[in-house]
Amino acid sequence: MKTIQVVEGDITTVAADAIVNAANTTLMGGGGVDGAIHRAAGPALYAACEKFGGCPTGEARITSGFNLPAKYIIHTPGPIWHGGDHGEDQLLANSYRNSLTLADEYDCRTVAFPSISTGVYSFPLGRAAQIAIQTIREFLQTASQVEEVTMVCFDPTTARAYRTAVNS
């Protein structure tokens, strides 16, 4: 049975087949979860990301997990919120879908996501949670490998928004 769960915690400590990094388009590390993942994974991650020459918003790239308990890190730049009429919803859905597609291609059974674009990119949390959960549900209907998706939320407010989306 395929499942979506919501937990509160630190994504850098999650032992999943793949964790997703809410990256910026350079893939070179940054603030928030991106910086935390780069610090925890170690300097080899920077070198691995450098080879991609960046990644467009909504697309995804995969690297080894290096010093993390996860086998892989999937990097996806989510959209910066510009009021909602610049394709942000579709770009956010693409980030989740493309990340899951890569996870499926790399035989990942378990995938952990942070809340993409809701930090410094200012995507409205409730709206982002609904898009994320809807996109994940749709993907799981046809996924060949991915069986369990966990939303790893940094704080209680974020966890509540994702639990609401899962239960709606």
The per-residue pLDDT for range 78-114, each reduced to its tens digit, is 999 999 999 999 999 999 999 999 999 999 999 999 9
Domains and CATH numbers, the chain: 3-166 (3.40.220.10)
Regions of the chain short of the pLDDT cut 70: none
pLDDT at 87: 97
Residues 6+ apart with CB under 8 A from 52: 27, 61
Pairing of strands 148-153, 110-113: parallel
Predicted local distance difference test score (pLDDT) of residue 91: 98
| pTM of the predicted model as reported, rounded to 2 decimal places | 0.97
Residues tagged active-site: 34
Q: What is the pLDDT of residue 1?
A: 87
Q: Are 33 and 21 in contact (CB under 8 A)?
A: yes
Query: What pLDDT was estimated at residue 31?
Result: 87
- Which pLDDT score is estimated for 57? 98
Exposed (0-12), middle (13-18) or buried (19+): which is 91, by Cβ within 10 Å? Answer: buried
